[in-house]
Amino acid sequence: MFAGMTAVPLRAVLIVVPLAGLAAGFAARMLGAAEWSGPLWAASAVPVLIVLIAEIWTSLREGKFGLDIVAALSMSAALIFGEHLAAAIVALMYAGGQYLESFAERRARREMSALLSRVPRTAMCYRDGGLEEVAIDAIVPGDRLLIRRGDVVPVDGQVANGLAVLDQSALTGEALPVQMQAGDAVLSGVTNVGEVFDLSVSRRAAESTYAAIVRLVEAAQGSRAPMVRIADRFALVFLAVTIVMAGGAWFLTGDPIRAVAVLVVATPCPLILAVPVAIVAGLSRAARHGILVKSGGALEMMARVRALVIDKTGTLTSGEARVTAVRVAGRLSADEILRLAGSLDQASKHVVAQTLVAYARGRGFPLALPTNVTETPGEGIEGEIEGRRVVVGGRRFVAAKVQAIPRTAQPRRHSTPGVVTVSVACDGVTVGEIVLADELRTEAAMLLASLRRFGVDRIVLATGDRQDVAAKVASGLDIDAVRAELSPDQKVLVVLSERKNGPVMMVGDGVNDAPALAAADVGLAMGARGAAASAEAADVVLLVDQIDRIAPAISIARRSRRIALESVVAGIGLSVGGMMAAAFGYLTPVQGALFQEVIDVAVILNALRALRGHAFVHAETPELEGLPKAGLSAAPNNPRSSAGPVPAHPSANGRSAHRG
């Protein structure tokens, strides 16, 4: 609402000065020194007026126009014509409104600090025969980096040696990690989920993929149209009405005090105070639901969203591989297959092995101690479990370790896009397969239905993942269009193209979503597990990993905006009535200021209703359960699934990192 925002400490001082001046002036009167009251009130209003004029000048130079001008006119006129008490009251109201907005912005910055701490700033570099932790900017092409498990790759390069297992979901949208061998290109921004490997640097940090995405974010933020606040939309008309009424009263009566009274009553307190109160109340209520809204403008814009562009991996889907079925092909039950695989995989650090172990433990299976274990990195593992020889890994790896089995007993090949299978053999015979997939969130369909009820007319799925995987996810959902295999700049184009349907909200979690989040009218990031770059670029951050919080976020925004508008309409209506009374001489400037205070109290009490409302019930995100029991050889029926060959993603180099 106010352009040229000053520092937070100055805003706090701006409240203290008029408040202290008012108290000192009234104290002087009570002590018999009434002649000091006026100067004390005037002195307390002048600093606020100086700051206000400076902000108005800055705003006008930037081509912005707001209601600050009315407040400046009323304070100036009151000081010029000796209505010092009225000037001090107006100064206090203005300073209070500014501080409310600074409070919301300060809280949002505090909440973001933890999210942004995940951005890589240093790397382990081989220097002088040893390892040295160096700043990212000091890395040059030809350097050799040690990429540890869990590290985000800081610059572009190639795998120098070893086998790299990388989570590329933040860049490509592909949920399942991929396997890279020596010489394969690695992009900055991906995460090492496998063993330690060496990276040969090919580009400086400023020239790498991650840096290019940051530049896209900056360009998108610079090109985005500024948010138009509720108060500013009333500014021009209200200013014109105020000047006409004040000037007319002075011209027709010859009494400048009537013009001052009109200006004081016209001080847009319902906008200066009621709108920030309603918006800050909405921000506070959203925060209680795990929704961090960074500014009042973002909350207002979220209430007007008409189009949604949503990412797939980590947003509509869980973003990680989960066990979805066990396919039985032999004498062992599904539970026993899971127990044996989980027991053997305790000896492996592979990302899929860890998923199977965690799932088996979650099911309550008693895991046995593996012995005589041999692991082939990226392919599979074999060892003994309770005296039985068990092999777990990709189909080819397991097939090479076991005897041929009748075709009718072989597990049916699972060819659904985005799915990985792990074969299991026991005592030389394949006994089944475990199916893993990045599944659709259980609350996704309900969320999209809720958004339709909130007036979202257009929903587009935009992902960097393959077309077949995206189509499978969108099948059965209320989605109008699917855009797949998108680069970060192409996602920005999708957002811009949807603007014709109204204000656009972009929802994402990866580094590749950050430019689109910045370009959208409202960017919403999944902050619980998403990339720091996306959280930084977004206007709204979900602090919990549940997309069903988007519906309450929009509901809170709509209600807060509606209450703010109610306060504005009621307050401005009463102000116009008071202005007319002042123009006809029924209100003095001080009486007008007091009348405006009564209006303030009424509209602020109404605005505080944004803190209350019906409780939201969120659909929890339960762990997958209900695996097929013994004898069941197929995955649970899914009407949205589609069969077909799974083409290799270009970034996977034709290999799977899931031993399948």
Task: Provide the residue type at 93 as one letter.
Answer: M
CA dihedral 599, 603, 604, 609 (to 10 degrees): 160
Radius of gyration of the chain (CA): 32
Q: Tokens at residue 206, please?
A: 């400023």
Angle between helical axes of 37-61 and 68-80 (0-180°, round to 10): 150
Helix (H) or strand (E) holding 422: strand 419-426
Task: Provide the residue type at 292 as one letter.
Answer: L
Integer CA distances (angstroms), 9 to 5, 21, 276, in order: 12, 18, 19
Cβ atoms < 10 Å from Cβ of 204: 17
Q: In whole angstroms, what is the distance from residue 339 CA to residue 248 CA?
A: 88
Phi, psi of 320 (to 5 degrees): -150, 155
Q: Tokens at residue 562, please?
A: 């509606």
Integer CA distances (angstroms), 197 to 161, 193, 560, in order: 6, 11, 51
Active-site residue list: 311
Q: Tokens at residue 14, please?
A: 């701006």
Give the full edge-to-edge strand order of the sheet including 481-483: 291-293, 540-542, 522-526, 504-508, 307-310, 458-462, 481-483
Q: In whole angstroms, what is the distance from residue 474 CA to residue 451 CA?
A: 16
Q: Tokens at residue 58, please?
A: 């800055």
Q: In whole angstroms, what is the distance from residue 623 CA to residue 322 CA?
A: 9
Which DSSP category does 317 fall into?
A: B
Burial code (b: 16+ CB inside 10 Å, e: under 16) for 284-304 equals bbbbebbbbbbbbbbbbbbbb
Name the pairing type of β-strands 307-310 and 458-462: parallel
Q: Tokens at residue 628, please?
A: 């097929």
Integer CA distances (angstroms), 310 to 92, 316, 448, 497, in order: 44, 8, 10, 14
Q: State the distance between the two ends of the chain, measured CA to CA, in whole angstroms.
A: 56
Q: Tokens at residue 81, please?
A: 């014509």
Q: Please list, in sequence order, all residues whose beta carbon lies within 8 angstroms of the beta carbon of residue 649, skipping any fewer than 6 positions away.
A: 172, 174, 178, 465, 466
Helix (H) or strand (E) holding 370: none
